[in-house]
Structure 1
Amino acid sequence: MATASDIGARHRPAHTLGELLDDAARSRPHAVAVRHDAAVLTYAALRAKVHATARRFGALGLQERGATGLLLENTPDSVVAFLAAARLGLRVVPLEPGTTHTQLASLRAALGSLAVVGDVPRLTALRDSEEHGPLDCVFVPVNGTAETAESVESVESGRPKRSAGSSDVTEALGRDPDADAPFLYQYTSGSTGEPKAAVHPQRNLVNGGEIYARAYGITEGDRILAAVPLLHSFGMVAGLVTALRAGAQLVLLGRFTPARLLRTLEQHACTVLVAAPMAYDLATRAAGAAPSHAPHALRLCLSSGAALPATVAERARERLGLDIQQVYGCTETGVIAGRRPEDGAGPDCGVGRPMPGVEVRVVDERGQAMPAGAEGALLVRTPAMFTEYLGHPEATRRALADGWYRTGDLARLAPEGHLHLIGRKESFINVGGKKVNPVEVEQVLLAHPSVAEAVVWGEAAGDADERVRATVVARSPLPAKDLTSHCRARLLPHQVPAAIDFVTALPKSAMGKVSRAKVAAASAAPPPNHS
C-alpha cells in the first residue's frame, strides 16, 4: 500500500537521476528497467544495486577524488555504476571502454586526482600498461565488493580506506545531491578544435529526458533499444535517461551487428530504436525487402550523430515500414530539434522543429535576427544548456552570448518552423576569395549512383587560398574523370574538386560521424615506403 510520503514524492518533480529512479521504483517496482540478453533488472532491483554500489564507491573514497572516469559500456553493470555515481554526486567523465594509457594520462593531467571505474579485465590492462609510466589513478571495478576492488586498485601509499558501513557514506545516501552541481564532464568531439569538457549538472540530463518523452510520447509501455554507446549524449539521454523518466524498459544491444539488432528488436518487442545513421544503413541492408519483415512492435526510429543519408531513409521506409526521425543536437546543449512522425518525410522538414522548451535564433554577423527563410548563424537556448567548458573560460565566453549558445552552424528557419542546416561556417573552403560549402559538394558527389560515401575539405594552395579536395568510397569501379565530369555538370567551376581520392572506408566515430580532419590528414600523409 502506498504511503502518503510515496504519493507526495510522485507529484514532486524529479531533478536528479536518483529521483527519477526512486520515482520509477516506487510506482513500477516489478517492471523491467534494464535488459541485456538474458540479464534483467527490475526497477526495484536496479535501485537496490545502485544504492549498494554507491555505498561501495563511497567506502573507497571516490567522493574525495576530483573526478571519476567511467569506462562506460552498454551493460547493466555500467548503468548501475553511472547511476551510483549520480547518487553520490560524483563528477563523472564518460570514457570509451578502450581508452588507452596515453589518453588516460592526458586526462589525469587535465583533471588532477582521478578514479577510473570499469570492468576488471580493462582495468587490469590499464594497470599493466603502467610500465609506460605511472598513471597515478585509483582503479575500481564496475561491480563487486570493496575487497574485490583491492586487487586492481592503485591506492596512494598509506591512505586508509573507510569501511562500507561508515556513517558519512550512509548519510550521503540519505540525501540527494544538488541537482545544479557539476556532474557530467562530457568531452566534445574536437571536430572544431581541441576537445573540451562541457560541464552539465544532473538537472540538464533530467530535462533532456523530459524533452524526448514529451516530443515523442514515450511512456512506461515503451521498450527502448539503445544501439548507440551510452557514453555519448544521444545514447545517454535519448536512451537511458528517457527510459528512467518514462519508467520504460531500456534494452541494451551490446556489440553491434545488423543481424543482432534486427533479432533483438523482434525478440524483445522493442518499440523505440535509438541508433546512428551507420547502424540504420547496415541494418536496413540486412533486413528483408518488404515491410512485412519489419519488427512487429517498432513504432519509432530516432537517428543522430551524423546526417541521415536520403538513401538510408528511403530504404528504411521500404524495409521497416517507418520513417527515421532525425534528431539534431550537440554535447553542449543536448537535443535542439527533431523530426516527428506527424511531419512526414521529405527534405522540406530539414532536421525538424525545435524541441519543447528549446529556443532558436538565426542571426547575421552583427547578431541581428534574420527573416524567416534567410540563412545565418544559428544560436540556441535549451533547458539542457551546459554551464562551462572545464578550465577554458575564454572558450566558454566565446561560445555563450547572453545565455545563447553559438552552435557554429549556418542555418535557416522556414516559415512553418522547420530548421534547415546549411553547414558549418569554419568548414567553408576559400577558393580564390569565393566560399565553397563542402556539404553542397558532398551532396553532388553522393548523387552519383556509384558513390557510397564522400567527404570534402579544403586543402592549402599557397598563401590564404585553398582548393577543394574530396575523398570517396565507391560502390563499383569509378574513374576519377567520370566523377569530375559529374560534378562539373552540377557545380560552379570553383566548387568542383581539384582532386578526388578513392578509399575503401572513411574514419568514423562510434556514432558514425566522419572526421574531416582525419581524412585530410590521411590524404596529406606521404605514402608508405615499401622498399
Structure 2
Amino acid sequence: MPNVTERFRDNVALRPDAIALRSPDHTMSYRDLDCRSAAFAAALRQLGVAAGDRVVLVAPTVPEFAIAFLGTQLIGAITVPVNTMATAPEIGHILDDSGAMVAIAWHATRESAEQAVEQRGRTLVILEADAFAGIHGERIEPADRLIDDTAVLLYTSGTTGKPKGVELTVANLVETARIFIEQLRMGPDERMGTGLPLFHVFGLAVGLVTALHSGASFSLLTPFEPRAMIEMIRDHRLTMVSGVPTMWNAMLHTAIDIGPADFTHLRLAASGGASLPAQVIQAFSERFGCTILEGYGLTESSGAATYNPLGREQRVGSVGSALPGTSIEIRDLRGELVPQGVAGELYVRGPSVMKGYWNSDDATASELVDGWLKTGDLACCDADGYVYIVGRAKDLIIRGGYNVYPREVEEVLYQHPDIVEVAVIGLPDERYGEEVGAAVVTAPGSTLNAVSLRAWAKQRLSAYKVPHLFAFVDELPKGPTGKILTSGFAGLRFVTAVPESERTA
C-alpha cells in the first residue's frame, strides 16, 4: 500500500548521510530527518492520533515543518497546513470544519493557534526549534494507505468567502513529485532551495515533497528576504530555486555585488503563483545568468498543471504546456471548446487534480466536471500547446503570490459598526503585483479613517488579506439591479493606510 513517505524512506536507505534539509544555520541528514519524524509520529500516536485523523500544522518554512509533516504522513494522518499569519477565528474555522482534535504550532507563532485550540478544548503541540534532536526511538513503518486516501487538506478561500478544504490524495502528491523529477531531470545530487511558505501548495507539493522524493537537499529560508535568498543560493551552491514573481523582482532590485559568476551552479529557477513580467525574466537572466521558467498550477491541482520544459523554447507570456499525463482544454461559459487562440476558461485534468473539497459535495460537483477541474482562470492556447493566462474569471486578488478573495475580506469589514457598504478590489502594485483596496461607505457622523480601519482589520484577518488602500465615498457605483460595479471604481481616489517601510508580504 502506498504512503507519501515511501520514496523518502527509500532515499534514507540509499543515502542516509546525504543532506536532506538545510537552513541558514543547520543541516540535517536523511537519517536524522527520518529519526526525528519517526519520533514525532510516535508522539502523535501517544496523543491518540490515528490514520485518517486530521492534524492542523501552523509552522513557517523551517526544517521542523518537514519533521511534523513526515510524522503525520508516517502514521497515515491527514496534514492540514495553515498560514502562520492566520488569526484565531481563521484557525478556529479550520479546526471546526476539518474536525481536527490536535494542532501543531511553531513556538514563535503560537498565539493564534493557542486561542483557537483553547476555545475548543483541543490538544496543542508546540513545535520547538531543533525538535526531537538526538532521539532514536522505535522505527515506525509507513501506514498502509490507498492511493485515493486524502493525505493533505489545504484550505483556500472560495467565492462565498468561506475557506474550503482541498483534498489532495496520496497519489496527487506522489505523482506530482514524480512528474517534476522527470520534467526537471532531477537527480539525488540536486541542491534545491526556496523562501516559499511550506504551508502553501507550491512550497509543499512542488518543493518539499519533490525534493525528498528525488533524494535532493532542500534549503529553507524564513522569512523571505531578497539579500538572504541571494546569499543562500550562492553559499549553498543551489542548482534549483523556486519562488513567486515578487521574490524574483525583489532579488533583482537588491543592491548586492553578486552576479553570474557566483551563480554558475544554478541551472534553473521555477516561478509560479502569478504571472511574471517578461522584462523581469530577461533582467534576471542578464544579472544572474539564470533563466526563470514559468509554470501554472493551483491548490486544487497540487500546484501543477503546465510548465515550460527544459530544452524547449520558452515563449514570452506563456506558462508553458501541459505537464506529462495532464490534459488542458479552453472552454466557453457553456462548457464547450473554443477555437484555437480564443480566450476561455481553463480546464485541467490529470494525476495532480484534487479529490474534491472536504465535506462539500456541492462545491466539488461545481468545480469538478467529469474529472475536469474548472480553474476559474481565463486563458488561450496556441497551435503548439503553449498556454497563456489572460485574466481571471473570478474576482481573485493575487498579492505577492497569496490568494485573496474580496468576498471574504468584505464579510469581515462589514462587521465594523461604522461601515454601511464596502467593496474590495485588487489594485495594480509594482511590488506585489496587486494590492488589496477597499472602497468604503460609512455611517453619518462616523470618524472612521484608513489607519483605524486597517488596525481593526488586522485583528481579524491574516496580514496579506488586510486592505492597505482605502477610498471613503458617499456611495458605491451600482448597476440597475443594485449590484456594486467595481468597474466604476476607476475614478476613485485610494489612499494608503501604511507607510512603504511597514508593508508586509
Contact 1:24 1:247 in 2 (8 A): yes
User: Offset at 1:88?
Assistant: 0.7
Match of 1:416 in 2: 384
Instruction: Give the whole-Å Cα distance in 1 for the aligned partners of 2:192 and 2:337.
Output: 39
Match of 1:135 in 2: 120
Match of 2:87 in 1: 100
Residues 360-403 of structure 1: CA deviation (Å, up to 9, x unaligned): 01123333322322222221102111112112111110111111
Match of 1:387 in 2: 355
Instruction: Give the whole-Å Cα distance in 1 for the aligned partners of 2:504 and 2:276.
Output: 12
Instruction: Give the whole-Å Cα distance in 1 for the aligned partners of 2:272 and 2:332.
Output: 27
Contact 1:289 1:318 in 2 (8 A): no
Is 1:378 aligned with 2:346?
Answer: yes
Match of 1:501 in 2: 494
Match of 1:338 in 2: 307
Is 1:112 aligned with 2:131?
Answer: no
Is 1:319 aligned with 2:306?
Answer: no
Is 1:468 aligned with 2:487?
Answer: yes
User: Offset at 1:351?
Assistant: 1.1
Match of 2:67 in 1: 80
User: Offset at 1:192?
Assistant: 7.0
User: 5+ unaligned residues in a row in structure 1: which ranges?
Assistant: 1-13, 148-163, 429-441, 471-496, 513-531
Contact 2:103 2:124 in 1 (8 A): yes
Q: 1:405 aligns with which of 373, 397, 403?
A: 373
Contact 2:329 2:346 in 1 (8 A): yes
Q: The residue matched to 2:5 in structure 1 has which SS?
A: helix
The structure-2 alpha-carbon separation of the partners of 1:324 and 1:219, relative to structure 1 and needing over 3 Å to count, comes to same
Q: The residue matched to 1:81 in structure 2 has which SS?
A: helix
The structure-2 alpha-carbon separation of the partners of 1:269 and 1:369, relative to structure 1 and needing over 3 Å to count, comes to same
Is 1:255 aligned with 2:223?
Answer: yes
Q: 2:37 aligns with which of 32, 50, 58?
A: 50
Q: The residue matched to 2:300 in structure 1 has which SS?
A: coil
Answer with 366-375 or 272-281: which moved more: 366-375
Instruction: Give the whole-Å Cα distance in 2 for the aligned partners of 1:363 and 1:121.
Output: 46
The structure-2 alpha-carbon separation of the partners of 1:289 and 1:317, relative to structure 1 and needing over 3 Å to count, comes to farther
Q: The residue matched to 2:339 in structure 1 has which SS?
A: coil
Is 1:18 aligned with 2:5?
Answer: yes
Residues 202-223 of structure 1: CA deviation (Å, up to 9, x unaligned): 2211111112112211211211
Match of 2:468 in 1: none
The structure-2 alpha-carbon separation of the partners of 1:178 and 1:422, relative to structure 1 and needing over 3 Å to count, comes to same
The structure whose RCO (Cα within 8 Å, separation 6+) is larger is 2
User: Offset at 1:311?
Assistant: 3.4
Instruction: Give the whole-Å Cα distance in 2 for the aligned partners of 1:319 and 1:111.
Output: 46
TM-score relative to the length of structure 2: 0.76
User: Offset at 1:345?
Assistant: 4.7
Instruction: Give the whole-Å Cα distance in 2 for the aligned partners of 1:49 and 1:343.
Output: 41
Instruction: Give the whole-Å Cα distance in 2 for the aligned partners of 1:296 and 1:146.
Output: 35
The residue type equivalent to 1:339 in the other structure is: N
User: 5+ unaligned residues in a row in structure 2: which ranges?
Assistant: 397-424, 440-475
Q: The residue matched to 1:25 in structure 2 has which SS?
A: helix
Counterparts of residues 218-229 of structure 1 (less than 5 Å): 218-229=186-197
Instruction: Give the whole-Å Cα distance in 2 for the aligned partners of 1:118 and 1:452.
Output: 28
Residues 408-430 of structure 1: CA deviation (Å, up to 9, x unaligned): 122211001101112122449xx
Q: The residue matched to 1:237 in structure 2 has which SS?
A: helix
Residues 75-129 of structure 1: CA deviation (Å, up to 9, x unaligned): 11111110010001112210122433222322232233421112345446744x4
The structure-2 alpha-carbon separation of the partners of 1:357 and 1:174, relative to structure 1 and needing over 3 Å to count, comes to closer
Counterparts of residues 160-309 of structure 1 (less than 5 Å): 173=141, 175-190=143-158, 193-286=161-254, 291-292=259-260, 294-309=262-277
Instruction: Give the whole-Å Cα distance in 2 for the aligned partners of 1:121 and 1:290.
Output: 32
Answer with 223-232 or 103-112: which moved more: 103-112
Instruction: Give the whole-Å Cα distance in 2 for the aligned partners of 1:326 and 1:511.
Output: 24
Q: 2:58 aligns with which of 48, 65, 71?
A: 71
The structure-2 alpha-carbon separation of the partners of 1:174 and 1:387, relative to structure 1 and needing over 3 Å to count, comes to closer
TM-score relative to the length of structure 1: 0.73
Instruction: Give the whole-Å Cα distance in 2 for the aligned partners of 1:69 and 1:225.
Output: 25
Contact 1:68 1:91 in 2 (8 A): yes
Contact 2:37 2:70 in 1 (8 A): yes
Instruction: Give the whole-Å Cα distance in 1 for the aligned partners of 2:21 and 2:436.
Output: 41
Instruction: Give the whole-Å Cα distance in 2 for the aligned partners of 1:291 and 1:413.
Output: 35
* Superposition RMSD in Å: 3.6
Instruction: Give the whole-Å Cα distance in 2 for the aligned partners of 1:405 and 1:17.
Output: 23
Contact 1:467 1:498 in 2 (8 A): no
Match of 2:17 in 1: 30
Instruction: Give the whole-Å Cα distance in 2 for the aligned partners of 1:125 and 1:426.
Output: 30
User: Offset at 1:503?
Assistant: 4.0
Contact 2:179 2:323 in 1 (8 A): yes
Instruction: Give the whole-Å Cα distance in 2 for the aligned partners of 1:379 and 1:353.
Output: 13
User: Offset at 1:309?
Assistant: 2.4
Contact 1:101 1:135 in 2 (8 A): no
Contact 1:336 1:355 in 2 (8 A): yes
Contact 1:220 1:246 in 2 (8 A): yes
The size of the alignment, in residue pairs, is 433
